A and B are shown apart, each in its own frame.
Chain A
């Protein structure tokens, strides 16, 4: 499955371009304030009444770990999931090292190939000429028959003979990509999703109704694609979203630790909650800036690890009624 990254202009608001083109002083001031090491301006307004009456955004800025000076933080709308259209609750800063990485297709390909192959086990098996039944005797004498010379009826030349270099038993294609390459793949996938306007950040996954059609209509109204991947912080999800996602083909629900390059590219739209966004960004930046030397994966499994019954003492020894004296 080859990802096709095509930068097209879409009808509705294009988040990435909007931020780049509108270089007003107000935006610059806000970017500078978030770059500096200040306390987080995370003002979440939980009461609904204030949102409607005051018309103020819920979140005005977000502080970023490991700030970067050579480029600017990208911006994303924070949407709500309580109605079909949804309200814009504010604007979030996204770290450029996670959401504005150069789209390296070769790294994406490496990641997807690894995801496909490292768990693949090929169970095909063809018997060799030694393992096929029969074929031990020379079918006819070497000379004098006027026939071609043969040693066994199971040689690869014969019908119903063996395969010379066929598949041999369960074969595994396991290997591990370096952690840095995998982290980079995730960052590139998220950057591609952001750049192509397929990323939506949502306050939480609490939706008013569990009807799958409500979710389908919401995705339709918001121009989310056929397939949507909802990512939350933890693996405990609200009931409504679980039922809706189950009822719609193409919709998937995942915790943040389950995110992967294959799923990001398979689903057209990626919907992250704020908590999930925070967690993912933090983990990816930690991985990127970690100074630990990566440990090579070594398989330390032993047959004892799979033992379910306790090991019994099977030594055969005679039971003595009285102690022995020599």
Chain B
């Protein structure tokens, strides 16, 4: 009765991952099991208890049919390192990021060699030119020194209409900053403060 039930299972052809043949277990994942012989032979799908239990002191599992999932063959133990441990790293065409190369300034080019020329032109010249007349930079900052609020207010006088038209965000930023600095300087800070 038990055997007839098993035959019924074998006769139907379900999908199975391994075949229990008379020669042994063959896992269908391995190429070894794709042979013509295995298809013809009777296969056992499930592990089941054997009727005859062998006597044995060792820890053998002969009382059960072998697992169909165990792939026979030699086993390798150990750990394979899958990263580089030496040698140059591959860059894949991307350049290595590093500091720019040091290029010392030439202290004897015309700009550096003639630095400070005409600074005493009001003393050594005819007296009609002042060195502040020769300064370059932002127009509202030439020959002017002040704290941040004073500079912003001067910039507002000089550039305000143009900024309001062309750069409203900058205009707004300046307006807010002047307002904030006025409160800061007058209500929070002492009268003498390095800005």
* A284 engages B123 (CB within 8 Å): yes
* B132 engages A297 (CB within 8 Å): yes
* B132 engages A306 (CB within 8 Å): no
Chain B residues positioned under 8 Å from A260 (CB to CB): 116-120
**Interface set, chain B 150-168, CB cutoff 8 A to A:** 151-152, 157-158
**Interface set, chain B 38-58, CB cutoff 8 A to A:** none
Across the two chains, which residue of chain B brings its CB closest to A305?
B139
B130 part of interface (Cβ distance < 8 Å): yes
Chain A residues positioned under 8 Å from B120 (CB to CB): 182, 186, 257, 259-261
A306–B121 CA distance with the chains assembled, in angstroms: 23
B149 to chain A, nearest CB (A): 10
With A130-B176, A173-B145, A263-B115 as given contacts, are A258 and B121 in contact (CB-CB < 8 Å)? yes
Taking chain A's interface residues, is the majority helix, strand, or loop, or is none over half, making it mixed? mixed
B137 to chain A, nearest CB (A): 5
* B113 engages A266 (CB within 8 Å): yes
Q: Which of B124, B136, B143 has a CB less than 8 Å from the CB of A301?
A: B143
Chain B residues positioned under 8 Å from A259 (CB to CB): 120, 124
With A130-B176, A257-B118 as given contacts, are A183 and B141 in contact (CB-CB < 8 Å)? no
Chain A residues positioned under 8 Å from B145 (CB to CB): 172-175
Chain B residues positioned under 8 Å from A303 (CB to CB): 139, 157-158
Number of interface residues of B (CB under 8 A): 37
Q: Which of A182, A183, A250, A254 has a CB less than 8 Å from the CB of B108?
A: A250
A170 part of interface (Cβ distance < 8 Å): yes
B62 part of interface (Cβ distance < 8 Å): no
Chain B residues positioned under 8 Å from A118 (CB to CB): 131, 135
Chain B residues positioned under 8 Å from A257 (CB to CB): 118, 120-121, 124-126
* B116 engages A115 (CB within 8 Å): yes
Contact with B along A281-307 (1 / 0, CB 8 A): 001100100000000010101010010
* A306 engages B143 (CB within 8 Å): no
* A297 engages B176 (CB within 8 Å): no
**Interface set, chain A 130-176, CB cutoff 8 A to B:** 130-131, 168-176
A-B contact pairs, 18 of them (CB 8 A): A118-B131, A121-B138, A169-B151, A171-B151, A172-B141, A172-B142, A172-B145, A186-B124, A227-B113, A257-B118, A257-B121, A258-B117, A259-B120, A263-B115, A266-B113, A266-B115, A283-B123, A299-B142
Known: A257-B120, A260-B117. 15 other contacts (CB 8 A): A121-B141, A131-B177, A176-B132, A179-B123, A249-B108, A259-B124, A260-B116, A261-B116, A262-B116, A262-B119, A263-B114, A263-B117, A283-B123, A299-B143, A299-B144
Which B residues lie at the A interface, using CB under 8 A? Answer: 108, 113-126, 130-132, 135-139, 141-145, 148, 151-152, 157-158, 173, 176-177, 180
Lowest 6 A-B CB distances belong to which pairs? A262-B116, A257-B125, A258-B117, A260-B116, A260-B119, A121-B137
